[in-house]
Every structure is written in structure tokens, then in C-alpha cells.
Structure 1
């Protein structure tokens, strides 16, 4: 499981949680899909600097 956010912007859609299902894919809830889905992590996580915690 992960939580990612940009420092100082961890509210609303700027804070995100999900679960890595393998090295490249995550399952997460996103308003862009209007659902829970499995997507590639690349392209769905924030641009650097992004802080991850497990």
C-alpha cells in the first residue's frame, strides 16, 4: 500500500493512496476513471518531487 503527495499539497486530489499489484501497476480509486481501477503507476503518480510512504 502507498500514499503519495506533493509536500505542502496533501489535500483533496493532491493526496493519493493505492496498492501496488506488481512492480508497474497500482489499484486505486480515481475520479478520472470514476471508479476503482488498475493502471500503470507511471503516468498516474505525481511528477517529482513526490513523497511515497508505505
Structure 2
């Protein structure tokens, strides 16, 4: 999710499409939050690790 968010964010900035930039930023932030929660040992969505 983090990789997809970064790709969409870069494409959105290069092309100038604000919708892609917004979606990419949101995916990047949500992916980072889920990654941090999963790495800290908390269960995310019923799973011990979030991949």
C-alpha cells in the first residue's frame, strides 16, 4: 500500500492531477500507520502482522 501510494503521489505530481496526488497521499499515510501498528506487535485486522 505504501508503494502504491508513493507511485500515485509521484504520478499525480508529474501529471498535475490533484485527485491522484490526494489518493496517493492518503494511501501512503494509511499504509505507514498500518505498518507501524503491525511492527509494534498490535493486531491489525485480526492479523498479528500486516503485509
On whether the aligned pair clears a TM of 0.5, the verdict is no
Q: Kindly indicate which of the two structures has a greater share of residues assigned to helix.
A: 2
TM-score range relative to shorter protein: under 0.3
Taking structure 2 as the reference length, the TM-score comes to 0.26
Question: Relative CO higher for 1 or 2, CA cutoff 8 Å, sep ≥ 6?
Answer: 1
Taking structure 1 as the reference length, the TM-score comes to 0.26
